[in-house]
Structure 1
């Protein structure tokens, strides 16, 4: 085998868009993509968070810019994608990450709770994926990485709307992979277990809940944002060219127990 012909994990010359990229898992993934050579555009609704996150990435010598966007609004999403293309001429990698959760028992969930979670986690994924796919079809190349969760396939109390949204993401991933394969576009998903982020910090401070989470894994720990960095770089790179329609569980062995 000619080792020089093996696919690279480098992303030099690629343009990546990371929604929800200013904090938590999204920020860790943006850092990883930038560190491997991509120009990364991070997007979220909060301008101050975006500016701070982009400054941290560029301050370490990597290439990053930002765009303010609300993924639940179709016109806003199209402006976001148009901005990326207008500034960089292409969009090679989409990390479809923006999400939220409202944890309540089934009988206490308000209709507004359901709508807020599904609009962000599922409708937002759809709108951004659709807008990005149109550009990637023109390019005849692209990598779409949807951020799901183990709760797309594992039942847990108080996760009605969140689990429904993540199960929907898993199915979108498989359908899109089928539709977009003829255009040299790979579509995969990453499904983490509990990762220590601002969104989960309050839950993880509950000692009993923390112990239950840790005991559900084989590795006996909660995930860190950096644990998702390697998988996203892999799926975004040419090393994953023959992988599509796959749900990659980053869960410390939770779903295999």
Structure 2
């Protein structure tokens, strides 16, 4: 089914995780290109600061503090967008909880928090966004964030890669349902490198490919206007899947070795 999405200047975009580096970069880029933006995350102070900055430049922006791991909060986000702008055309899920360490080191609380944000939050947001697009009867875009680890496992962000894989499977199944029902919804799964996680600094020291948040944001902006199923930002798609697998696995080994040498403790970080 051919889907024609609006130009960015004609769109209202919801951005979850708007206080993260990727969320901030996406909001600034979208607003500069003429989009109206609704910003949301759990960090109310950061949202106010970003919204104030955008408004000072004459960009239409509003914000609502919310936790997408709570279904009632996701409803609140959608209602705020409709109340303020009358609709939304693109929903970007860029919230993320990253866990750095071995599977055996992760606490149950860490794992619950990670899956609640990374997986359940994606489910709630996806369902509400698609319901809105279906009710309006016009094309819309849903952009979910996963990671390169969702394609191939590695040895260091093991807990995170499990939730990333769940997001990938959910998004693939959701896309199949949308196609079956012939709904005009573009569903994109973004596979970025974890450029804003605790192990970013280690990656830089080893000179592996780490893309800045702006590179991820550019791909989000592209997906908001051009239907595309998957976009890999970190490890580029290869004609040689074995080599690509080795690249991702090798990166994990490098980071793992560096952390173990420094005897760094298990870490978690929210990008919300």
TM-score band, normalised by the shorter chain? 0.7 to 0.9
Distance 2:123 2:147 in 1: 16
Instruction: Map 1:102-181 onto structure 2 (within 5 A).
Output: 102-140=99-137, 141-181=139-179
Judged with a 3 Å threshold, the aligned counterparts in structure 2 of structure 1 residues 8 and 78 are, in CA distance, closer, same or farther, namely: closer
Q: Return the TM-score normalized by structure 1.
A: 0.84
Distance 2:55 2:20 in 1: 15
Distance 1:45 1:164 in 2: 23
Pairing 1:183–2:155 present? no
Contact 2:8 2:35 in 1 (8 A): yes
Partner of residue 38 from structure 2, selected from 36, 41, 49: 41
1:178 partner SS: helix
The residue that corresponds to 1:253 in the other structure is 236
Contact 1:23 1:49 in 2 (8 A): no
Contact 2:20 2:95 in 1 (8 A): no
Deviation at 1:252, TM superposition (A): 5.2
Instruction: Name the Cα RMSD after superposition.
Output: 2.0
The residue that corresponds to 2:250 in the other structure is none
Distance 2:116 2:136 in 1: 29
Tell me the alpha carbon deviations over residues 141-168 of structure 1, each in whole angstroms, 9 at most, x when there is no partner: 2100001110111322232221011111
Pairing 1:63–2:60 present? yes
Deviation at 1:114, TM superposition (A): 1.0
| Larger RCO: 1 or 2 (CA < 8 Å, sep 6+) | 2
Distance 1:194 1:116 in 2: 18
Distance 1:210 1:157 in 2: 18
Contact 2:148 2:235 in 1 (8 A): no
2:81 partner SS: helix
Judged with a 3 Å threshold, the aligned counterparts in structure 2 of structure 1 residues 8 and 125 are, in CA distance, closer, same or farther, namely: closer
Deviation at 1:8, TM superposition (A): 8.7
Deviation at 1:9, TM superposition (A): 7.9
Pairing 1:234–2:234 present? no
Between the two proteins, the alignment pairs up a number of residues equal to 234
1:100 partner SS: strand
Deviation at 1:59, TM superposition (A): 2.4
1:12 partner SS: helix
The unaligned stretches of length 5 or more in structure 1 are 1-6
The unaligned stretches of length 5 or more in structure 2 are 239-243, 248-272
